[in-house]
Chain A
């Protein structure tokens, strides 16, 4: 049995240690906000935060996450200051189209904003280049991060 702290709640998981967090979240805990996109950390759709760092949950075995680590998913990011500002900016600027990648985009952007309150274009490129959006919402993602940061 593996114990994880997700969005402030302790969760017990009956899966093997090599199970990626993505599938534990989606299929075992029913937390489907975190998305499967590629399975090889190429697209960022599965991004969650572990202790505030954006990580790709599709390649993160649950056994590698310390019991003391705090996992935040899209379902919980709105409770953080950075997450709430990013979500609001996303809606204010109508970033979202199909929306499938946006959980991951928001998790990456929130981690950026928390660590770098005034990101410039290079910071945004570095933090967001791992998140693919097939609808092509990148122009608005960039604007929304700046808006959330108050630099636009």
Chain B
């Protein structure tokens, strides 16, 4: 066990299996007799089971779901299970989909399902072998259940704790038997979450809560224009303020260090900073859109081609449209922050991140240290949504902390957080289709926007195609005989773009599902019937569409300017259909009235968590559809806080029903699916209510009010 691991934050079991948050417990080298069959499982002599989480907890419930999978195959006693954050290690905890330690793309359960089951089953087999050896019986005559091994013929049993030492000496089987789905007792159950008890009494620690001894507090400001540099700083007023300890001026960052964050923030406000705004100083949103629209005229790299789309477009009734999506900030409730202590021979980092090993590597690079000299203490995340897939906050904090003698907590103000995000890219999606005998005959789809993968994970960017950028488009679920899907890379330059909850499908599902709706209306078909007629090749989605329609009361009469809209998607391995019911008043204001989702996500590891993810994801996506847009003026992001980057609030959120469809298929992802499902269903509802088709997000209330053309 390395040093980082030994100082991790532990979640500690309390009475009766209720998991309570522990403190930073010093965890000594694994005690002799502890059974560590792999990187995920530790069984101590007292029978307690510590499961080490390869994926991070940011609210999506993965600590509980991962534990359910491991404990299921291990046959652990759930009341004795505790979980621990993993240390940085691509080797031990690398995500099988990426090869590096990353939590994202709604793939924790999809990617780790098989390895976790195997890890649990292997450990169980070793415990059973140890018991059989002790009893001098055939292992096949023993069985395991709830943390004990039984030999029914002789009525003997031994607990896992008593077997731990001997289990460690057994030879692991190559292919331990996995349970049949029908034998699951933990997987499929709505077990209580392991991470929430301490979240209702203020005891859990997020990265922003770390308080190492002697810590000082910094408030930070980055160049208001990306690429800008500090010219000079007058810090005389700030330095005269009681409680202000130090002013740190770097190339592109200025920070004030104080006895607490407020005094640091006051000190920062008292600085007079002159910036050279650099090459982006004159760029505004109109320039970004002009460039994007021009780029979307170019032919793109072909991600998928079937039949002859160009010929088919001339054969039938043709429809053309273009959809546009804005920049979006993540606005996690926990603003960006990081605590760093740079010492003579190394560095410690306290953070909640989706990319543990990358934080370690990037901080090491910034400080010119070997990676092993950077100790990273993982924490819970106060929201991720893709923002914490970036290590920038750790690198900037480390550069500042390098100038400071004490541990330093650097906290971004909400304004800095929103203005220096890594934004969801702007996209333009150009679609053409032809209808023949009421069915889609030809289809071309060109997405133009950033290639986030090319920056974030270059090996995955091949042949000019961002596979995330065309995700849910190249594999469109509808049966279309002639189609072509293209990708055109266009980076905005003025800001950096990144992953945002729903990633590529967020853009593609909105454009495709809006356009499918347009085609249904052009064909004179009901939007549900039209989708169903094209879903023979995707029966799981067809069933979801039918269930969503049924549960939502599709077709039943509603008041004037009130309507339902539907969306259907295959994204992140899940099959989901959603109906949004909305009302539009004469001023164009939109009220959400009801949301119904039908979800086939394969084996539901924790059904209640899946429902929660859909509920929350729908609100996340609809927030963006109703309000979300980051705009640029003279290189600067114009929005700054929740008054001008709005969020849905409780009084604006309608009842949300989520219906799970039973399945024994491989589990799909759910964390991001709600975010992609909501916006097109809303847009389609608005069309049904008003006859106005909105092809840009966020929705434009002036268009809905008839004050300006669509």
Contacts and interface: CB of A to CB of B under 8 A. Distances in A.
A96 B200 contact: yes
Contacts of A128: 649-651
A96 B192 CA distance: 11
A16 B266 CA distance: 12
A2 interface: no
B673 to A, nearest CB: 13
Contacts of B641: 38-40, 42
A36 B208 contact: yes
A143 B196 CA distance: 17
| A contact patch SS | loop
A16 B620 CA distance: 39
Nearest to B417: A38
A31 B451 CA distance: 42
Interface in B650-689: 650-651, 653, 655-656, 674
Nearest to A75: B202
Given A19-B263, A94-B193, A132-B333, A36 B242 contact: no
Given A98-B59, A132-B333, A135-B616, 12 more contacts: A36-B261, A91-B192, A91-B197, A96-B59, A96-B193, A97-B612, A99-B199, A100-B334, A126-B651, A134-B383, A135-B383, A136-B618
Nearest to A100: B382
Contact of B211 (A30, A94, A124): A30
A103 B199 CA distance: 7
A-B CB proximity, top 10 nearest: A33-B202, A98-B59, A136-B619, A100-B382, A99-B199, A97-B59, A136-B616, A74-B202, A27-B260, A125-B651
B461 interface: no
Interface string A19-50: 11011101110111111111110110100000
Nearest to B619: A136
Interface in B387-433: 411, 413-414
12 contacts: A23-B261, A33-B202, A39-B413, A43-B333, A45-B333, A78-B201, A87-B201, A129-B650, A132-B647, A134-B385, A135-B333, A136-B674
Contact of B333 (A30, A77, A133): A133
A106 interface: yes
B707 interface: no
A98 B383 contact: yes
Given A27-B260, A30-B211, A35-B334, A94 B202 contact: no
A84 to B, nearest CB: 10
B333 A140 contact: no
B331 A134 contact: yes
Indicate the member of A30, A75, A98 with the most B CB atoms within 10 Å.
A98
A10 to B, nearest CB: 20
Interface of B: 58-61, 192-193, 195-197, 199-206, 208-209, 211, 217, 242-243, 259-263, 331-335, 380-385, 411, 413-414, 608-609, 612, 615-620, 623, 641-643, 647-651, 653, 655-656, 674
A98 B413 contact: no
Contacts of A140: 612, 615
Nearest to A133: B333
A24 B262 CA distance: 9
Indicate the member of A22, A28, A31, A35 with the most B CB atoms within 10 Å.
A35
Contacts of B616: 97, 135-137
A147 interface: no
Indicate the member of A78, A100, A141 with the most B CB atoms within 10 Å.
A100
Indicate the member of B59, B203, B205 with the most A CB atoms within 10 Å.
B59
A32 B59 CA distance: 19
Contacts of B656: 139
Contacts of A135: 59, 333, 383, 616, 620
Contacts of A45: 333
A151 interface: no
A136 B201 CA distance: 20
Given A36-B335, A96-B193, A139 B380 contact: no
Contact of A15 (B196, B206, B260, B674): B260
Nearest to B334: A100
A94 B260 contact: no
B642 A136 contact: no
Interface of A: 15-16, 19-20, 22-24, 26-28, 30-40, 42-43, 45, 73-75, 77-78, 87, 90-91, 94, 96-103, 106, 124-126, 128-142
Nearest to B202: A33
B58 A98 contact: yes
B333 A20 contact: no
A35 B414 CA distance: 12
A134 B620 contact: yes
B261 A100 contact: no
A103 B382 CA distance: 12
Nearest to A77: B201
A96 to B, nearest CB: 4
Indicate the member of A15, A23, A34, A126 with the most B CB atoms within 10 Å.
A23
A32 B202 contact: yes
B438 to A, nearest CB: 38
A42 B333 contact: no
A133 B382 CA distance: 11
A136 to B, nearest CB: 3
Given A23-B261, A100-B334, A133-B333, A34 B651 contact: no
A87 B200 contact: yes
A132 B262 CA distance: 22
Contact of A142 (B197, B242, B612, B650): B650
Contacts of B60: 97
Given A19-B260, A139-B615, A102 B651 contact: no
B642 A38 contact: yes
A100 B380 CA distance: 9
Contacts of A33: 201-203
A137 B384 CA distance: 15
A62 B608 CA distance: 42
Contacts of B653: 136, 138-139
Contacts of B192: 91, 94
Contacts of B242: 16
Contacts of B203: 33, 75
Nearest to B209: A32
B414 A27 contact: no
A19 B243 CA distance: 11
Contacts of A106: 200
